[in-house]
Amino acid sequence: MSRPYAARWTAALPLVANLALAAGPPAADRALFADTDTLRIEAQALLDLDAGQLQLAINEIYARACHAFKDPGLAARLGGLARGCAPGAPRGLTPTEQANAMLLRRFQTYLRQYPDGFEATYRIVPATHAEGVAMRACPEAKCSVIGHLQAGCSVTGDFRMDEMRGRPEWIYVRSSRCAGAEGPAGGFIPQSALKLVAG
């Protein structure tokens, strides 16, 4: 079983060279991420980025492939990133660039779904069967069930993504409360089993 990282969002990362976010906010003449055409972005480097930064990182990938931008400010900022192509003659994204863009878009989706991060209160979606949501020792169906969470239980935990094998997203449950008492923890449940509780 992959152990989740202790962060707001976590991921099962591919075993490849990874890029980390440059220290501090990016200057106007410096890219948010470097070498996204050859190196994979670390998922944990995206945990604290806002929507604008995630979109900027995606734009950087396309700028390196010589794609043009209508916004003059964006064009001026990203114009010097082109690699292996001529301005105005965009090339296709490399497999690494495609994977990086997919990861960034996935985090954009998470940010829309969970704008406050996963440290807010989430409740188990009403179950379709009496036993509630099965919590497993690992996400795969073949792994053992270690407990159940009933509809209405609240949970805190971390996202787990498996980009390499294309498996659905899961949540590692760090703690739960059911009917006001501490509930089971230490297992994975599907992301679809949760809903955000306002307030």
Average pLDDT, the chain: 74
The Cα–Cα gap between 98 and 115 comes to 25
Q: Is residue 8 part of a domain?
A: no
CA distances from 160 to 23, 33, 71, 108 (A): 25, 22, 35, 15
CB distance 29 to 61 below 8 Å: no
Q: Is residue 12 part of a domain?
A: no
61, 90, 113: which is the final residue of a domain?
A: 113
- At residue 154, the pLDDT reads 87
Instruction: Check residue 137 and report its DSSP letter.
Output: S
DSSP for 96-149 reads HHHHHHHHHHHHHHHHHH-TT-TTS-EEEPPPSSTT-EEEESSSSTTSPEEEEE
- At residue 97, the pLDDT reads 93
> Domain tally for the chain?
2
- At residue 168, the pLDDT reads 53
Are residue 143 and residue 191 in the same domain, yes or no? yes
Are residue 94 and residue 161 in the same domain, yes or no? no
Identify the helix (H) or strand (E) that includes residue 172. strand 167-178
113, 146, 173: which is the final residue of a domain?
A: 113
Q: Is residue 148 part of a domain?
A: yes
Residue 154, domain extent: 122-196
The Cα–Cα gap between 142 and 177 comes to 26
CB distance 1 to 137 below 8 Å: yes
Q: Is residue 52 part of a domain?
A: yes
At 62, phi and psi to the nearest 5? -70, -30
Instruction: Give the tens place of pLDDT for each residue, 117-150.
Output: 666 777 887 755 556 888 888 877 788 988 888 8
What is the identity of the amino acid at 3?
R
Q: Is residue 9 part of a domain?
A: no
Are residue 129 and residue 186 in the same domain, yes or no? yes
Q: Is residue 29 part of a domain?
A: yes
Q: Is residue 159 part of a domain?
A: yes
Are residue 83 and residue 126 in the same domain, yes or no? no
pTM: 0.58
Instruction: Give the tens place of pLDDT for each residue, 46-82.
Output: 777 888 899 999 999 999 998 888 888 888 888 888 8
- At residue 14, the pLDDT reads 29
Are residue 80 and residue 97 in the same domain, yes or no? yes
The Cα–Cα gap between 189 and 169 comes to 9
